[in-house]
Chains A and B, each alone.
Chain A
Amino acid sequence: MAELSFVITMSVVTLFWALIGGIVPLFIPKGPNRGVIVTMLVLTSVCCYLFWLIAILAQLNPLLGPSLSTDAIWYLKYHWP
């Protein structure tokens, strides 16, 4: 179950940024600014995807868990699923 949600997340986000970086640039109309806009789109998608990827991979296999105060634990026990 956890695996499935991870796979879904991974594929959705990868597809999203691949769309922005790979497909949308094909539709930018020809003009003096086409080159700049395409560069911007590709760089944005690469940077943002990489940043998200690092964040999720760092948490994939945690080596240590969060250390919570007992008040927080008491609250979370009843209020979080």
Chain B
Amino acid sequence: MSSLLRGEEMCLAQLFLQSGSAYDCISELGELGLAEFRDLNPSVNTFQRKHVNEIKKCEEMERILGYLLREIKKADISLPERDVNPVAPLPKHIMAIMEQLQRLEVELGEVTRNKEKLQKNLLELIEYTHMLHVTRSFVQRTCEREPLQVQYEEFPFLEKDTVMDYNSMQRLGAKLGFISGLIQRVKIEAFERMLWRVCKGYTILSYSEVEEYLEDPETGEPTKRMVFLISYWGDQIGQKVKKICDCYHCHLYPYPTSNDERNDVVEGLKTRIQDLHTVLHRTEDYLRQVSIKASESVYTWVIQVKKIKAIYYILNLCSFDVTNKCLIAEVWCPVNDIPTLRRALEDGSRKSGATVPSFVNRIPTSDTPPTLFRTNKFTSGFQNIVDAYGVGTYREVNPAPFTIITFPFLFAVMFGDLGHGLIMALFAFWMVLYENNRKLKNTRNEIWNTFFEGRYIILMMGLFSIYTGLIYNDCFSKSLNIFGSGWSVKAMFTAEVWKPEDLTGNKFLTLDPNITGVFKGPYPLGIDPIWNLASNRLTFLNSYKMKMSVILGVIHMSFGVILSTYNHLHFRKKYNLYLVFLPELLFLLCLFGYLVFMIFYKWLVFSAKDSRNAPSILIHFINMFLMQGDTVSPLYPGQAGLQVFLVVIAVLSVPVLLLGKPIYLYWVHNGSHRLGMYRGYERVRRNSEEELYLMRAHDMEEGSSHSDLSTSTEHKKEEFDFADEFLHQAIHTIEYCLGCVSNTASYLRLWALSLAHAQLSEVLWAMVMRVGLRTDTRIGVLFLVPVFGLFAVLTVSILLIMESLSAFLHALRLHWVEFQNKFYGLPVSKDILC
């Protein structure tokens, strides 16, 4: 537990790694994940480090792996879902992996390019076939009807019989040429117009549409195309027509001169297309095979390459001791794990077959170590939300173990609904039950991952919401009546206060608790169910919830202040206890603790009999500050005197808080000799004596001195600066005192959000569900189904998702600001152990 309360005790250790076994040792250490390496070559550029070439190789491999993964995903091959965690391969295997990857890349690239070429070919052939097919119908038309029909867009049905067909033209000896091809449908009209303008009637264009969509060879998109046939006289016209065709990006194909030739070409094309199909199939199959082979090991390679890169990165951080032919590394590691570290180094040395083993030595330091918290899957979520605000300084009290309960509790106070809490808890429970399901763990959806990581937080929030929903007596905005209400309507009738005629006359009647028998006692578990039926429900609930918020807030803040004593005691600053903690606690309790006392007093002492002169606590509280005890009747005898006493104590504690610590420190420093103050890490000082002795003994064996190599900074003798300390303390005092007032008021958000949630829930019920339940006819039963669907959707989206996010945020804010600034120090370093 001390690990989670304070963080692990850390120490600085030096590792001596033999160069032959350095790689293996670091690999072992990496698998354990226990050490944080310090950079021993901070002045060296990234590109001048020793292993920069290996890292470049790793990045090249990562690039190839990225390409492979993309290709595999394109081919829709499912990757094996095993949980792989391979160890980093030895340096000699790295070249083998690199070669394999390069070979795969080249192969895949070639095959893909071939496939594209073949596909392009295929499309062209298909277009040619279409073209031949369509132009056949052109020519057939001419055989059926004597004149060649030319259709202009302006005169669609005009028939001209001036044009002669092919045979007659040949008899004339004119040089008739044909150009045929395909053009995009959208361009055909412009094309025709251009032809007409340029060639002025010396060409004849006939075209017709191809029914199906053809894929464009270049872009691969399906487009609609028209087959056209241009017949022209003369060479020059032919050149012009060809230029125009180029302009409009037509695909031109040779036009067969006779029917027989056409048939031959068609047959030839058919066979070629079939062949191409087969070849294409085979190519695709081969591509798939290669991708499947790659996919089997691609994830393994990805992890292995990552590990190799990490190892070389760490090796770059170490410094090379030329005289001893070994690498030196400085790591931060937990004290309890030094034996594990030793064992890992031994394993590494043994694996690499080194003669001299590598070993680890603890060295003294005055630097502040990084903070480490050992968390399991349950506590890690809560530790994360505490760390999101800031990681604590080394060995400071960690709010996380308390946050495990107080955070879901404050959330539940704001969310408090039995039904909604039940749904939330079930959802979280489902996530927890299936937490080992790989599909849930490894999705890429960011939002889902956030919810999944926080599944235990959501579970706790749901469970607490069930409890607070029970106490608020609110289940989908309806109350449960388990024990029988404490209010009796019958008693109002038997006491003759109400008569049956009253029921017809008035709309609302109020029960009077003064009459015997009307109020039988408080409901044993939570809020009485009768309040759900009352129209003045909010009057009662608001007063109750506001007081509850203040009570919970003051207790939460006092808890925070008390936690600071842990820090004061641990860091051996006992004077803080008397000069900081005591004034803070007195200030808080004398003012706001007294407010809480008054709330409880009023609840216990004033009953319905005194309802006419029940005092307002707020007025009493304000009067306390103004020292006007006489204007209102006292709550209890001696109130005025007690209040004056409390205010005096609170006011006196402010200057003690402001001046006490600076003056005491000044007196300590100038009254006695200059004391060097070490910041923070004091424990190691005690051990360092024996450590230094051991080190020196070791030195003599090894024949080198370590003090040159250690890069720990020198001890700082902190000069005591009165002005600095006073300013710091003044800021703290102002922050604390003003903060007490504003933070107490800030806890009223507990009331505000729970009110909002209850009202939203009630509106949803009244506007949606009740409408469905009130339609009486048979249609009403069917109508209820979509109404319930709407109710469920709105409940989940508005109340469960939006409201819970809102309550989560506010509970988080209450923790981060109001609770933590009572004791959590400003984080010095953000080092988190990898």
Q: Which residue of B is nearest A44, CB measured?
A: B405
A31 to chain B, nearest CB (A): 10
Is B262 located at the chain interface by the 8 A CB criterion?
A: no
A76 to B491, CA, bound (A): 11
Query: Which residues of chain B are near A15, meaning CB under 8 Å?
Result: none
Is A27 located at the chain interface by the 8 A CB criterion?
A: no
Chain B, 1-32, contact with A by CB distance < 8 Å: what is the 0/1 string?
A: 11111000000000000000000000000000
Task: For A65, give its contact among B3, B467, B513 (CB under 8 Å).
Answer: B513
A33 to B404, CA, bound (A): 13
A55 to B614, CA, bound (A): 19
A64 to B528, CA, bound (A): 13
- Residues 456-507 (chain B) with a chain A CB within 8 angstroms: 467-468, 471, 484-490, 493, 498, 502-504, 506-507
- Residues 504-519 (chain B) with a chain A CB within 8 angstroms: 504, 506-513, 518-519
A63 to B489, CA, bound (A): 17
Is A66 located at the chain interface by the 8 A CB criterion?
A: yes
Verify B524–A64 contact, CB threshold 8 A. Answer: no
Listed residue (A38, A47, A60, A76) with the most chain B CB atoms within 10 angstroms of its CB = A47
Is B675 located at the chain interface by the 8 A CB criterion?
A: no
Q: Which residue of A is nearest B520, CB measured?
A: A2
Query: Which residues of chain B are near A5, meaning CB under 8 Å?
Result: 521, 524
Task: For A80, give its contact among B376, B489, B605 (CB under 8 Å).
Answer: B489
Verify B522–A68 contact, CB threshold 8 A. Answer: no
Chain A, 41-81, contact with B by CB distance < 8 Å: what is the 0/1 string?
A: 00110011011101111111111111111101110110011
Query: Which residues of chain A are near B133, meaning CB under 8 Å?
Result: none
A55 to chain B, nearest CB (A): 5
B interface size (C-beta, 8 A): 74
Verify A54–B548 contact, CB threshold 8 A. Answer: yes
Is A26 located at the chain interface by the 8 A CB criterion?
A: no
Is B784 located at the chain interface by the 8 A CB criterion?
A: no
Task: For A70, give its contact among B506, B531, B537 (CB under 8 Å).
Answer: B506
User: Interface with A: B93-101, B273-281, B539-547, which one?
Assistant: B539-547
Is B731 located at the chain interface by the 8 A CB criterion?
A: no
B397 to chain A, nearest CB (A): 12
Is B693 located at the chain interface by the 8 A CB criterion?
A: no
Query: Which residues of chain B are near A38, meaning CB under 8 Å?
Result: 1
Verify B486–A59 contact, CB threshold 8 A. Answer: yes
A18 to B485, CA, bound (A): 27
A33 to B488, CA, bound (A): 50
Verify B604–A61 contact, CB threshold 8 A. Answer: yes
A62 to B610, CA, bound (A): 10
Query: Which residues of chain B are near A64, meaning CB under 8 Å?
Result: 510, 513, 536, 539-540, 608, 611
Q: Which residue of B is nearest A61, CB measured?
A: B607
Query: Which residues of chain A are near B468, meaning CB under 8 Å?
Result: 51
Task: For B535, give its contact among A54, A63, A68 (CB under 8 Å).
Answer: A68
B547 to chain A, nearest CB (A): 7
Verify B493–A60 contact, CB threshold 8 A. Answer: no
Verify A36–B404 contact, CB threshold 8 A. Answer: yes
Query: Which residues of chain A are near B1, meaning CB under 8 Å?
Result: 33-36, 38-39
Verify B490–A66 contact, CB threshold 8 A. Answer: no
Q: Which residue of A is nearest B490, CB measured?
A: A77
A81 to B3, CA, bound (A): 57
Verify B523–A40 contact, CB threshold 8 A. Answer: no
Chain B, 662-674, contact with A by CB distance < 8 Å: what is the 0/1 string?
A: 0000000000000
A19 to B284, CA, bound (A): 71
A20 to chain B, nearest CB (A): 12
Q: Which residue of A is nearest B508, CB measured?
A: A67
Q: Which residue of B is nearest A34, CB measured?
A: B1
A28 to B369, CA, bound (A): 33
Query: Which residues of chain A are near B484, meaning CB under 8 Å?
Result: 80-81
A69 to B506, CA, bound (A): 8
Chain B, 552-565, contact with A by CB distance < 8 Å: what is the 0/1 string?
A: 10010000000000
Verify B603–A61 contact, CB threshold 8 A. Answer: yes
Task: For B528, give its contact among A32, A33, A59 (CB under 8 Å).
Answer: A59
Is B231 located at the chain interface by the 8 A CB criterion?
A: no
Q: Which residue of A is nearest B544, CB measured?
A: A58
A2 to B484, CA, bound (A): 13
Verify A36–B405 contact, CB threshold 8 A. Answer: no
A66 to B275, CA, bound (A): 89
A67 to B487, CA, bound (A): 11
Verify B509–A67 contact, CB threshold 8 A. Answer: yes
A50 to B498, CA, bound (A): 38
Task: For B525, give its contact among A32, A40, A52 (CB under 8 Å).
Answer: A52
Query: Which residues of chain B are near A77, meaning CB under 8 Å?
Result: 489-490, 493
Query: Which residues of chain B are near A58, meaning CB under 8 Å?
Result: 543-544, 547-548, 603
Verify B522–A56 contact, CB threshold 8 A. Answer: yes
Query: Which residues of chain B are near A67, meaning CB under 8 Å?
Result: 508-511, 534-536
Task: For B413, give its contact among A3, A51, A62 (CB under 8 Å).
Answer: A51
Task: For A57, give its contact among B406, B524, B533, B603 (CB under 8 Å).
Answer: B603
A62 to B632, CA, bound (A): 22
Task: For A68, give its contact among B504, B509, B540, B614 (CB under 8 Å).
Answer: B509
Verify B5–A51 contact, CB threshold 8 A. Answer: no
Task: For B471, give its contact among A9, A34, A52 (CB under 8 Å).
Answer: A52
A81 to B551, CA, bound (A): 35
Is B353 located at the chain interface by the 8 A CB criterion?
A: no
Verify B511–A70 contact, CB threshold 8 A. Answer: no
B526 to chain A, nearest CB (A): 5
Verify A43–B522 contact, CB threshold 8 A. Answer: no
Verify B507–A47 contact, CB threshold 8 A. Answer: no
Query: Which residues of chain A are near B520, meaning CB under 8 Å?
Result: 2
Task: For B522, give its contact among A59, A73, A76 (CB under 8 Å).
Answer: A59
Verify A62–B406 contact, CB threshold 8 A. Answer: no
Is B606 located at the chain interface by the 8 A CB criterion?
A: yes
Verify A35–B603 contact, CB threshold 8 A. Answer: no
Is B142 located at the chain interface by the 8 A CB criterion?
A: no
Known pairs A69-B507, A74-B503; A60 contacts B534 (CB<8 A): no
Verify B526–A70 contact, CB threshold 8 A. Answer: no
A2 to B523, CA, bound (A): 11
Q: Which residue of B is nearest A70, CB measured?
A: B503
Verify A70–B509 contact, CB threshold 8 A. Answer: yes
Query: Which residues of chain B are near A40, meaning CB under 8 Å?
Result: 401, 404-405
Q: Which residue of A is nearest B614, CB measured?
A: A63
Chain B, 723-750, contact with A by CB distance < 8 Å: what is the 0/1 string?
A: 0000000000000000000000000000
Query: Which residues of chain A are near B524, meaning CB under 8 Å?
Result: 5, 9, 13, 56
Is B184 located at the chain interface by the 8 A CB criterion?
A: no
Task: For B401, give its contact among A36, A54, A56, A73 (CB under 8 Å).
Answer: A36
- Residues 1-15 (chain A) with a chain B CB within 8 angstroms: 2-3, 5-6, 9, 13
Chain B, 788-820, contact with A by CB distance < 8 Å: what is the 0/1 string?
A: 000000000000000000000000000000000
Q: Which residue of B is nearest A79, CB measured?
A: B489
Q: A9-B524, A65-B519, A67-B511 are in contact. List 19 more A-B contacts (CB 8 A).
A: A6-B521, A6-B522, A35-B401, A36-B4, A38-B1, A39-B402, A50-B552, A54-B548, A55-B544, A59-B527, A59-B544, A62-B519, A62-B607, A63-B608, A65-B518, A66-B510, A68-B489, A69-B535, A73-B498
Cross-chain pairs A/B with CB under 8 angstroms, 5 sampled:
A51-B413, A51-B552, A55-B548, A64-B513, A65-B608
Listed in ascending order, the chain A residues whose CB lies under 8 Å from chain B are: 2-3, 5-6, 9, 13, 32-36, 38-40, 43-44, 47-48, 50-52, 54-70, 72-74, 76-77, 80-81
